Amino acid sequence: TDMMSNANKPATNALLKQAHNNMPLGVADSYRYWGEENTVFVKSSQGCTITDADDQQFIDFRLAYGPIILGYRDTRVDQEVVAAITERGTISGFSTDLDSQVVELIKQMCPNIEKVRFANSGTEAVIGAVRTARGFTHRNKIVVVEGGFHGLYDEMMWKSDVDNWDSETEAAPKVTAFGGGIPEASREHLETVPLNDFAAIDEVFTRVGDDIAAIVIEPILGNCGSIASTQEYMQKLRDICDANGTLLIMDEVKTGFRVAKGGAQELYGIHADLTTYAKAMGNGYPVAAFGGRKDVMDVISFGKNGVTHGGTYTANMIALSAAKATLTILNETNAYDTINKAGVDIQQVLSRVFTKHGIEHKFAGPDAMFGIHFGSQVPHNYRDWKKTDSDLYTEFAHNLIKSGIMLEPDSREPWFICESHKDIDLAKLEEIADAAMAKAIAD
């Protein structure tokens, strides 16, 4: 088809063919499989660019789904990691001085965080936060928001199937498992509500409020085009949690240390009881954390009711030295100003192109992580997103990719901006986007 990117890429095609013998779908993570014609193999990266196996260079707005906040191969971070592991080794299975140093940085940037535990991925951070909330409240139920994503473990592998929702005949999208291997029982404690819908959250709390351990929410839906909670809705969640003895968990795996020093909570001025972090906190090194109220976190302890948390690789020296370097830079330099300005400039370029082609469009979310929606309204939630022209977006995205602009060809994934994007050629981006949109419309 017209969408294929790998037509003249012998090295990429050979690598994928070999990989099919070695891994299901030929990839290490199923989301990396973009079909036989479009799956990408990366050879090198630098700043805001990646280079594929056939030497095509891309300006990357996908940034590995969000972790890259400074740029690829940032020497300030890399040198600190090398120094740390050269001296200390990678793990000892014991505590180190770095543990507290990184927590103190987090606490400085996110003033409502009182205690922290580390993890190795966003998934693990969410598992830890949810278990802690259950341990603290002695309740099981969890409320999640349609279009959010909280990691690859059974209980969170249920989604609102908006793709297959017939809004004419069905009141709400069905909640379905992400696929095979997810036991029906893992859904037992889950309640799902649409974002920004006051009646829906009231209904759940009226029905089962006494059983709800936590609301788990991405304050800005990093997995649904950066559609944001309104200020009023976030306040509503804070109030309904307080009124019901429920904890508010903000999953800031994508927004944390990206949209502001203190994440989305700084933008809203509303505090979660527990927060999860990963991605940007290590500029691409695998590090994650969860933390929040001291009284809640202190249920992590021994004894019958003590919550268990840990892991062999938790707070390893690669993760912590990367976090220390990244957070120090983010805290002490004007990186956020640079990132936000690049984000504004890029949105202006894209907006001009869409307007030129007569495409109604709305940007959603913060400048460091914005969603693009083709339609006349900013969607308020995942159900609304279905009304946007996501097919046009996907065509446009594939055309951009062929011309050296990397992004996820799905409008549910935002454009991620890193500090290195400050140097990109905006005129060239405009030219490429113009041609990509002209072709998308013609096809």
Angle at 137 between CA 135 and CA 139, to 5 degrees: 85
- Count of positions on this chain that bind ligand PMP (CB under 6 A): 16
8 Å CB contact between 381 and 194: yes
φ/ψ (deg, to 5) at 415:
-85, 125
Type of residue at 342: A
Q: What is the 3-state secondary structure (H, E, C) of 355-374?
A: HHCCCCEEEECCCCEEEEEE
Question: Residue 151 or residue 366: which is nearer to ligand PMP going by CB?
Answer: 151
Q: Which of 122, 219, 225, 371 binds ligand PMP (CB under 6 A)?
A: 122
36-44, 146-154, 406-414, 425-433 -> range binding ligand PMP (CB under 6 A): 146-154
Q: How far apart are CA 351 and CA 362, in angstroms?
A: 9
Q: Given the complex with ligand PMP, which of 86 and 312 has the nearer CB atom? A: 312
What's the maximum distance between 2 C-alpha atoms anywhere in the chain?
66
The answer to whether 285 and 322 have CB atoms below 8 angstroms apart is yes
Please state the closest distance from residue 31 (CB atom) to ligand PMP, in A. Answer: 9
Of 246, 261, 256, nearest to 216 by C-alpha is 246
Q: In this chain, which residue has its C-beta nearest to ligand PMP?
A: 122
**Contact with ligand PMP (CB under 6 A) among 9, 139, 141, 150:** 150
Residue with smaller CB distance to ligand PMP, 135 or 147:
147
Contact call for residue 121 and ligand PMP (CB under 6 A): yes
Q: Does 399 bind ligand PMP (CB under 6 A)?
A: no
Give the footprint of ligand PMP on residues 263-302 (CB under 6 A).
Answer: 278
Question: If DSSP codes are grouped into helix, strand and coil, which group holds residue 182?
Answer: coil
Asked if 118 is part of the footprint of ligand PMP (rule: CB under 6 A), the reply reads no
Query: Interface mask (CB under 6 A) for ligand PMP, residues 237-266, using x and -?
Result: --------------x-xx------------
Enumerate the β-bridge partners of residue 119.
Answer: 288
Looking at the Cβ atoms of 34 and 51, the one nearer to ligand PMP is: 34
Query: Does 218 engage in binding with ligand PMP (CB under 6 A)?
Result: yes
280 or 349: CB nearest ligand PMP: 280
Instruction: Specify the residue for token string 């097919």.
Output: 391
From 115-123, 313-321, 333-341, 433-441, span contacting ligand PMP (CB under 6 A): 115-123
Element (H, E) at 86: helix 75-88
Nearer CB in complex with ligand PMP: 125/342: 125
Closer residue to ligand PMP, CB minimum distance, 152 or 175: 152
139/412 with CB nearer ligand PMP: 412
Strands 212-217 and 158-160: unpaired
Torsion, CA 122, CA 233, CA 368, CA 289, rounded to 10 = -20
The CB-of-3 to ligand PMP minimum distance in angstroms stands at 24
CB of 121 to ligand PMP, least distance (A): 4
- CB under 8 Å to 417, separation ≥6 — which residues? 61, 339, 340, 342, 343, 346, 367, 368, 369, 370
Element (H, E) at 395: helix 390-402
Residues that bind ligand PMP (CB under 6 A): 65, 121-123, 126, 149-152, 218, 222-223, 251, 253-254, 278
